[in-house]
């Protein structure tokens, strides 16, 4: 109730003590004071609702009209076997013993192939991503490990920022110990919310990640509040408990990063992806070095540390499927550049 009391008392204090309507007749002034107090109360209740329910407002394990469990999806969206991809059903336990459901999709010679660990977008179950995973699997000859965050699909638990970070920690450690996988050839692909998850876990374990791909992700939840709920921007310092401060975490990453941005992203402004890209430039080498390189050698786009790929007609959820062949070629070129 602290937030409720703070906002209500502030509004009442301004309306009553400072009395900005001193020149208005008393009876009307009292009515205005009452109106402001009522609005303050309504705003306070809204703020309290958002404070208590922000996890359920942010994370969307279920989408109207779409099953939560991938086994109930339409055909071709239920498991990788429906795409003729060899796979294993896997259960990974997070640090708090939450069980996470995943799919390990394998190449015939899996130990020799690179492995992509995929952290999905926010909404829906992981079966919905199978068409894109199939393109990556067949065009890049990679293994793929897909996982349902806690509370998503067949995984246990309730999604929170702390919980998803534990999930990523457990998944990366699990994949790194698999006999079917070369631990020196692990690439993380994070899309939208998954980009924030990928940035976090790569910043924590750079020695375990050969490369990071960030697609249509955001700088922080606070910055997304400014975009989606600008009327709450002034109160976000009091209300917001979720961080996902990728703009800060990415500065600690020395792992090569491929940024994939859909120019027509209707949810996350592409400018936020560009800010992530710009923030990453100072990670591996001093800024003066990059200035020298850019000025004298014009090698910005060939830096092994960061690579920028924009999809002109890419929206938030369909960037990877606008031109799957070109998309995979760009990823393949980048993987070759970093030694995979």
**Residues 147, 152, 157, 162, Cα dihedral to 10°:** 70
Burial readout 153-175 (b: 16 or more C-beta within 10 A, e: otherwise): bbbbbebbbebbbbbbbbbbebb
Paired strand residues for 309: 260
Catalytic residue among 246, 249, 265, 303: 265
Residue 91 phi/psi, 5-degree rounding, is -120, 125
Residues sharing a CB contact under 8 Å with residue 17, sequence separation 6 or more, in sequence order:
none
265 part of the active site:
yes
Q: Do 77 and 130 meet the contact criterion of CB atoms below 8 Å apart?
A: yes
Residue entry with tokens 């999905």: 120
- Nearest-5° Cα angle at 83, 174 to 198: 35
316 part of the active site:
yes
Neighbours of 192 (CB within 10 A): 23
192 part of the active site:
yes
Q: Is 280 exposed, middle or buried (0-12, 13-18, 19+ CB in 10 A)?
A: buried
Catalytic residue among 69, 305, 316, 318: 316
Residues sharing a CB contact under 8 Å with residue 227, sequence separation 6 or more, in sequence order:
268, 269
Residues sharing a CB contact under 8 Å with residue 172, sequence separation 6 or more, in sequence order:
117, 186, 188, 201, 205, 208, 209
Q: Do 199 and 214 meet the contact criterion of CB atoms below 8 Å apart?
A: yes
Catalytic residue among 155, 192, 217, 261: 192
Structure token pair of residue 142? 């990679």
Q: Please list the active-site residues.
A: 192, 265, 316
């Amino acid at each position: 109730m602290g937030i409720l009391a703070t906002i209500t008392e502030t509004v009442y204090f301004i309306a009553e003590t400072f009395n900005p309507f001193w020149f208005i007749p008393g009876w009307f002034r009292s009515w205005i004071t009452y109106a402001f107090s009522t609005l303050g109360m309504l705003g306070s209740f809204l703020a309290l609702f958002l404070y208590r329910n922000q996890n359920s407002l942010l994370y969307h394990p279920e989408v109207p009209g779409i099953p939560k469990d991938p086994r109930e999806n339409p055909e071709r969206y239920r498991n990788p076997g429906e795409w003729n991809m060899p796979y294993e059903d896997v259960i990974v336990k997070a640090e708090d013993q939450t069980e996470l459901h995943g799919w390990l999709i394998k190449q015939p010679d899996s130990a020799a192939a690179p492995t992509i660990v995929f952290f999905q977008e926010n909404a829906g179950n992981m079966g919905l991503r199978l068409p894109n995973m199939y393109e990556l699997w067949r065009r890049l000859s990679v293994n793929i490990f897909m996982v349902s965050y806690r509370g998503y699909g067949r995984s246990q638990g309730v999604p929170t920022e702390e919980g998803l970070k534990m999930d990523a920690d457990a998944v990366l450690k699990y994949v790194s110990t698999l006999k079917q996988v070369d631990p020196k050839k692990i690439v993380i692909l994070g899309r939208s919310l998954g980009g924030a998850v990928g940035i976090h876990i790569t910043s924590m374990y750079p020695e375990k990640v050969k490369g990071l791909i960030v697609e249509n992700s955001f700088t922080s939840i606070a910055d997304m509040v400014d975009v989606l709920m600008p009327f709450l921007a002034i109160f976000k310092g009091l209300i917001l408990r979720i961080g996902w401060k990728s703009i800060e975490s990415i500065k600690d990453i020395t792992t090569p990063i491929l940024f994939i941005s859909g120019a027509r992203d209707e949810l996350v402004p592409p400018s936020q992806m560009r800010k992530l890209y710009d923030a990453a430039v100072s990670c591996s080498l001093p800024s003066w070095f990059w200035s020298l390189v850019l000025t004298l050698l014009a090698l910005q786009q060939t830096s092994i540390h960061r690579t920028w790929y924009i999809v002109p007609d890419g929206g938030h959820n369909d960037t990877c499927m606008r031109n799957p062949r070109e998309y995979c070629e760009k990823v393949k070129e980048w993987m070759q550049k970093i030694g995979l």
